[in-house]
Amino acid sequence: MFRIGSHVSTAGGVEKAVDRQVEIKGNCGQLFVGSPRGWKVGEVKKEGADLFKKYCSEKDVGPWIVHGTYLINLATPKEELAEKSVATVQGELDASAELDIPYYTFHPGAHTGEGVEKGLKNIAMRLSQLEIPSSVTLLLENTAGKGTTLGETFSELQTMVEESTYGYDDIGVCLDTCHLFSAGYGFGTDEEISQMIDEIEGTIGIENVRYLHLNDSKHPFGSKKDEHEHIGDGEIGEGPFRTLINHKLFRDLPMVLETPIDEEKDHSWDIQKIRELRDDS
């Protein structure tokens, strides 16, 4: 079954996320387990967790993915920030396990002037400090490449994994379409997507791409800017999304939208747009 959903709020209890997903016609989804701009990981209460699992089963919504707070920076040279980042990632991983959510993703971080090589080593070292629950796969999210952020290329993501004490049994990759486009990866034609897949196969391995974030981009190809737009309304346009979501190596992956919500369009509009672009023949 085609799995498409969006990021939804957990306001009022994590179990509320399931109904919110159903209301917008989604059948998988993403959520935060704390404030996206804070360090505190929300307490997972047993009653709420039990209801979340029950509703997911009854309404066939999943697989879910937890997105980490935006403050995380495993590449930082600052030890205090690194310690906070590792502790928060660990807390969010543990919360994912308590909710029976199989995936957790976050932005690896920025080297802030220390250099790419040092930044990648820091990420690998701090990944190694984590205790990844056996029921959760940690997914590194590719980035747009703004400033000194790392994870713009597949080779950088590969280095993070291979220099850590973990392997691809525990770590995978979540690909964001806006980030791909802004970083200079095209996927609108058969040739472009083949070139991208060849690079993936030579580094992280296509089998280790486990989830997709579907977002159009407000900025041009190769801009290094990360600002999302409604599907088809941005610089990517409808065609590349049609190519990507129908490709045999990507079409069966769960897909989540992180598109804007405004007066005219919400996540339900984007979910419907993706369904229209999907070839189910």
> Of residues 7, 67, 111, 267, which has the active-site annotation?
67
C-alpha dist (Å) from residue 268 to 14, 134, 143, 260: 20, 33, 25, 11
The H or E element spanning position 81 is: helix 79-98
CB atoms within 10 A of CB 71: 17
> Of residues 213, 233, 267, 270, which has the active-site annotation?
213
> Of residues 23, 43, 70, 198, which has the active-site annotation?
70
Query: What distance in Å separates the CA atoms of residue 165 and residue 167, rounded to the nearest whole number?
Result: 7
Catalytic annotation on 37?
yes
**How large is the C-alpha radius of gyration of the chain?**
18
> Of residues 92, 94, 98, 141, which has the active-site annotation?
141
Catalytic annotation on 226?
yes
Query: What distance in Å separates the CA atoms of residue 28 and residue 61, rounded to the nearest whole number?
Result: 5
Q: Is the bond preceding 36 in cis, omega lying within 30 degrees of 0?
A: no
**Per DSSP, what are the bridge partners of residue 140?**
106, 173
> Of residues 163, 258, 266, 278, which has the active-site annotation?
258
> Of residues 3, 7, 111, 228, which has the active-site annotation?
228
> Of residues 3, 7, 179, 230, which has the active-site annotation?
179
Longest dimension (CA), the chain: 53
Q: Give the list of residues 6+ apart from residue 103 with CB closer than 8 angstroms, or none.
A: 63, 64, 65, 66, 96, 136, 137, 139, 172, 174, 210, 211
> Of residues 226, 229, 233, 270, which has the active-site annotation?
226
Catalytic annotation on 266?
no
Catalytic annotation on 219?
no
Catalytic residues: 37, 67, 70, 107, 141, 176, 179, 213, 226, 228, 258
